[in-house]
Amino acid sequence: MPIPDLKGLRVLVTRPAGQESGVMALVRQAGGKPIHFPVIEIVPLTAAPVSAPDLAIFVSANAARYGLPLLRDTTATRFAAIGRATAQVLADGGVEVSITPPSPYNTETFLNEPALQQVDGLEIVIVRGQGGRELLRRELEKRGANVRYLECYRRVRPERDASSELVDNGLAAFDASLCTSVEGLLNLKRMFRPQHENLLLSLPVIVVSDRMRNEALKAGYKKVVRARNASPEATVNALEGVLKA
């Protein structure tokens, strides 16, 4: 996939601290100017180890990072990952991932995997952060699986003032923003003071799913560009749409 020429575009990268380097590097490689402003902080939770299920599903790289050490005696467990980054964290931990969905790496695509069509009676653990969507559990239970959660981290909005850090004399310090979750999208809006909210909403934002696009429009974002998926390559390539707008 060719990298676009971003022609000095200033790009606000909103991924959590420690997870931004890949996107930042690609933006620079494409001739853009990345600005890191995390809108979600990842806080590990203290959770008791759990006995190994038939299938462990990791919904994010953070789930893999903090949840994998909590599974015990996984000799007979199959592992599933929603997303390439999640699968990579598991692989780095010595785990063989047997189920991964194709792009766009979301729950809906994951549920279409052939291995998940016959799960009657299986013990399944969904490893995730605190809270979140119920779609995955609900659909697997409809198919007869016994499903439980292992929540190993929580997401917190950082105590930062975006207006003081990203606005100068009424002008934004960036030309477009990259967001990879609905929560991050809404956090970014809340981190601006009311008098600068319209400034943010008037600038292009890259999102990674139809659901995010709908939520962005509901929140008042006026220029919403959907990337093919949440990978760094796809989000940076979507910035080409900003240049053509």
Rounded CA gap, 47 and 87, in Å? 22
The whole-number mean pLDDT for each consecutive block of 10 residues of the chain, a chain of 245 residues, reads: 85 95 95 97 93 94 95 92 94 95 90 96 96 94 97 96 94 96 97 96 96 97 94 92 73
User: Is residue 4 situated within a structural domain?
Assistant: no
pTM of the model: 0.89
pLDDT at 1: 59
pLDDT at 107: 92
Q: Which of 111, 140, 155 is the last residue of a domain?
A: 155
Residue 217 is part of which domain span? 10-40+160-244
User: Is residue 206 situated within a structural domain?
Assistant: yes
* pLDDT-above-90 percentage for the chain: 85
User: Is residue 1 situated within a structural domain?
Assistant: no
Backbone angles phi, psi at 222, to 5 degrees: -100, -25
pLDDT at 113: 96
Q: What is the DSSP string of the chain?
A: -PPP--TT-EEEE-PPTTS-HHHHHHHHHTT-EEEE--S-EEEE-----EE--SEEEE-SHHHHHHHGGGEE--TT-EEEESSHHHHHHHHHTT--EEE---TT-SHHHHTT-GGGS--TT-EEEEEEESS---HHHHHHHHTT-EEEEEEEEEEE-----HHHHHEETTEES-SEEE--SHHHHHHHHHTS-GGGHHHHHHS-EEESSHHHHHHHHHHT-S-EEE-SSSSHHHHHHHHHHHHH-
User: Is residue 133 situated within a structural domain?
Assistant: yes
Q: How many domains does the chain have?
A: 2
**Per residue in 66-119, pLDDT tens?**
999 999 888 899 999 998 999 999 999 999 999 999 988 889 999 999 999 999
Do 57 and 102 share a domain, yes or no? yes
pLDDT at 240: 86
Rounded CA gap, 102 and 108, in Å? 11
Peptide bond into 104 cis (omega under 30): yes
